[in-house]
């Protein structure tokens, strides 16, 4: 949920001052060494120095701050309390109010103590799970396990800790075993597919296939299934500990550094070099490499997907399922990557555009092949805006989905969300749509410049957002272009995961009363601005290697009506129930989130060309009261909250199966939510129809998206609102609408 604002480059004057002040302090030239404590000390000093001088409202580094770091750090490195003993915590606790002093004095005593002890406890824990899974569990024994780890105290001794491991593993094994038994008994096979939409012939054929599937399931004795399940659990835990083994001191120190950074506010964080690179890729939607996704499988690196349009995809030699054995740079000797950390394998495969990488791979048929690929710029298509057309009641509407407000900071000519949305709006206009839905659900934010550009497509001109820095006058960002790209009916879809830049867009559209905001009761509630600062620039000469970057909160933004989106988010004009309605997950649920406040409103004029706005909102609310699907979603949300609060599980197989059967019976009622299907047909725009003819992967992705839209009751209601917003719409019935005061500063 990052808001990386390129207009913030002006505030790098702050950074330049810090550089000038600190040049004399950090002018030494240390040796380059991985896992170097001196590098860690330098990083600690850089972190606190930059935050204290650049943060919007830096917390005081005192005993209270120290206690917060202590708690956050221990929760981060041992969240399930299955490594440390109470004796360890007793030893650590003497530092609970001393971490602030250690931070200021570049003292790593607390980190070194916890890091070395953690490695020791992790090594000891390997014996626990291997011994536990070496023999069958007693599934008739009456015992329970509480999965609320916050309620757990730390184990007093190794026997108590082993018992905790035993119960955790038994619960996981019991759940898998129960599922296997149900499948073997023929349950959960026919129930997996919804047959309601099929014709009688299709339904009969499908039922026959399901009967055949049941017959083909091999019947195995309980002890065989039980052993197989334990072996599967052992494999999973071996992979888990293999992942932990791949972590080095730098990785764990990054956790410590972030436990310090996030105490200033939840969005201040440290980016290790690899994390910074991944962040840049996520913001721009582009990378330079071969265009393949990889995953670790034991000691091997496997290709899982080829990115459509990338060099590997174009070469047609590399395939999903191929295992990478060696990586060579051009004509240089290839390096064996078996057993190598996946991050290191990725580094070797990625590289500058135009360079060659040679992969020695094991194909799925067992043959070994050397594949040469010329690296190129790869666009990750899923990060970009896309649109679809749908016809409803004789009218044509457009839907634009924007997953994030992306931009390439290094290349002004590259794609960005503002330019892409303008293009999609123009394409929809040419297709003759009579209304547009902007879908920013699950959009965690991004570039503020693109928000201003996008909001400006729907208004004549005026303020979009207000920005305030610590101790400075507010700044107002305007749409200065009087051109209106789209002046027709508009709906903006949000949910509780719409954050930061998404909230600015929704707030601006709402304050102008330019469109109807529809979705969750309120959005996430992130009203702060972050700036990413490259820490390497602070050293006059640096041979320590890449120090990474710091993302710190430097400003807050406010709606044009003066209110902040911090904590409160944006309340929907039409609030629709969703499954997360009663689960805590917003900014307001974080203990050290920055507070809500308000400043003076900007001078703006409410949109007056949508005469039936209030009627459309009231109509939608009335539909909600009668909509059985939304009633079911609301009931499901309450049930999920109840389920979340239930943390105690029986480890007796009979009781566990009974509990699960009751849950499954209750869950059947809510299957109708996922099985819902409207009668609308969604299609791609003409330009994309040509693209998918030669790109099966893109076609599959678009087909999946259109299928999900046809099952989305929220999209259906958004289209209903567009119907009601039409200039010539006939509103049935009489609705008394109270006129609201205009949020205009005179």
- Could you give the residue numbers annotated as active site? 500, 511, 526
Q: What is the residue-wise DSSP string for 441-497?
A: TT---B-HHHHHHHHTTSSSSEEEEEEEETTS--EEEEE-----S--S-EEEEE-TT
Burial of residue 534 (CB within 10 Å: 0-12, 13-18, 19+) is middle
Exposed e or buried b for every residue in 131-142, given b needs 16+ CB within 10 A?
ebbeeebebeee
What are the CA-CA distances from residue 424 to residues 350, 430, 485 (Å)? 32, 10, 11
CB neighbours (10 Å) of residue 553?
Answer: 24
Rounded to the nearest 10 degrees, the angle between the axes of helix 249-261 and helix 37-54 is 20
Contacts of 435 (CB under 8 A, 6+ apart): 395, 397, 398, 488, 489, 490, 491, 719, 722, 723, 725, 726
Alpha helices in 78-150 (DSSP H): 86-92, 99-104, 109-132
**3-state SS assignment for residue 533:** strand
Contacts of 12 (CB under 8 A, 6+ apart): none
**3-state SS assignment for residue 715:** helix
By the 8 A CB rule, do 430 and 440 touch?
A: no
60 — phi, psi (to 5°)? -75, 130
What are the CA-CA distances from residue 650 to residues 171, 438, 539, 635 (Å)? 8, 46, 57, 26
By the 8 A CB rule, do 586 and 730 touch?
A: no
């Amino acid at each position: 949920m990052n808001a990386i604002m390129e207009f913030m480059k002006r505030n790098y004057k702050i950074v330049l001052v810090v550089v000038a002040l600190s040049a004399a302090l950090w002018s030494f030239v240390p040796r380059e060494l991985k896992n170097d404590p001196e590098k860690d000390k330098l990083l600690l000093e850089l972190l606190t120095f930059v935050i204290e001088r650049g943060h919007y409202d830096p917390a005081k580094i005192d005993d209270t701050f120290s206690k917060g770091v202590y708690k956050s750090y221990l929760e981060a490195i041992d969240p399930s309390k299955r490594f440390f003993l109470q004796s360890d915590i007793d030893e650590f606790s003497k530092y609970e109010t001393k971490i602030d002093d250690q931070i200021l004095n570049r003292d790593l005593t607390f980190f070194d103590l916890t890091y070395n002890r953690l490695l020791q406890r992790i090594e000891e824990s390997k014996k626990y799970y291997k011994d536990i899974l070496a023999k069958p569990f007693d599934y008739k024994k009456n015992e329970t396990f509480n999965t609320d780890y916050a309620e757990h105290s730390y184990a007093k001794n190794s026997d108590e800790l082993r018992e905790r491991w035993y119960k955790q593993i038994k619960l996981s094994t019991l759940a898998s075993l129960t599922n296997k038994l149900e499948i073997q008994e023929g349950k959960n096979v026919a129930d997996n597919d919804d047959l309601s939409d099929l014709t009688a012939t299709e339904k009969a054929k499908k039922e026959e296939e399901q009967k055949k599937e049941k017959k083909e399931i091999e019947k195995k004795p309980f002890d065989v299934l039980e052993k197989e399940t334990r072996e599967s659990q052992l494999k999973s835990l071996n992979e888990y500990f293999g992942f932990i083994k791949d972590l080095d001191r730098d990785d764990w120190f990054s956790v410590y550094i972030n436990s310090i950074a996030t105490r200033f506010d939840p969005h201040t964080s440290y980016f290790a070099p690899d994390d910074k690179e991944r962040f840049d890729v996520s913001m721009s939607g582009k990378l330079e490499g071969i265009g393949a996704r990889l995953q670790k499988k034991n000691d091997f690196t496997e290709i899982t997907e080829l990115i459509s349009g990338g060099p590997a995809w174009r070469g047609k030699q590399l395939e999903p399922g191929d295992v990478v054995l060696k990586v060579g740079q051009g004509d240089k000797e290839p390096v064996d990557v078996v057993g190598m950390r996946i991050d290191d394998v990725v580094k070797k495969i990625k590289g500058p555009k135009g360079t060659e990488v040679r992969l020695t791979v094991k194909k799925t048929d067992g043959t070994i092949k050397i594949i040469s690929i010329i690296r190129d710029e790869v666009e990750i298509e899923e990060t970009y805006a896309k649109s679809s057309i749908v016809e409803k009641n004789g009218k044509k509407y457009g839907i634009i989905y924007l997953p994030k407000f992306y931009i390439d900071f290094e290349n002004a000519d590259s794609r960005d969300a503002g330019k892409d949305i303008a293009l999609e709006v123009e394409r929809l206009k040419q297709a003759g749509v009579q209304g547009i839905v902007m879908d920013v659900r699950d959009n965690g934010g991004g570039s503020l410049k693109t928000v201003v550009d996008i909001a400006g497509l729907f208004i004549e001109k005026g303020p979009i957002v207000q920005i305030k820095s610590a101790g400075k006058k507010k700044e107002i960002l305007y749409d200065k272009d009087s051109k209106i790209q789209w002046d027709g009916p508009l709906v903006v879809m949000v949910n509780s995961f719409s954050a930061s830049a998404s909230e600015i867009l929704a707030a601006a559209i709402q304050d102008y009363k330019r469109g109807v905001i529809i979705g969750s009761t309120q959005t996430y509630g992130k009203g702060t601005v972050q700036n990413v600062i490259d820490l390497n620039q602070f050293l006059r000469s640096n041979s320590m290697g890449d120090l990474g970057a710091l993302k710190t909160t430097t400003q807050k933004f406010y709606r044009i009506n003066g209110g902040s989106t911090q904590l409160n988010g944006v309340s929907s004009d039409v609030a629709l129930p969703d499954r997360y309605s009663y689960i805590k997950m917003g900014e307001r649920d974080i203990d050290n989130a920055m507070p809500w406040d308000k400043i003076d409103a900007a001078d703006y004029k409410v949109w007056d060309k949508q005469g039936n706005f209030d009627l459309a909102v009231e109509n939608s609310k009335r539909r909600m009261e009668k909509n059985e699907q939304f009633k079911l979603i609301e009931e499901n949300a309450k049930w999920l909250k109840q389920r979340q609060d239930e943390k105690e599980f029986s480890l007796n197989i009979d009781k566990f199966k009974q509990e699960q059967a009751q849950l499954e019976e209750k869950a059947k009622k809510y299957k109708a939510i996922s099985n819902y299907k409207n009668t609308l047909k969604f299609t791609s725009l003409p330009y994309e129809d040509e693209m998918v003819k030669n790109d099966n992967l893109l076609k599959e992705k678009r087909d999946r998206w259109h299928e999900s839209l046809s099952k989305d009751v929220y999209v259906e209601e958004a289209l209903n609102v567009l119907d009601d917003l039409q200039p010539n719409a006939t509103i049935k019935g009489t609705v008394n609408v109270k006129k609201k005061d205009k949020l205009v500063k005179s």
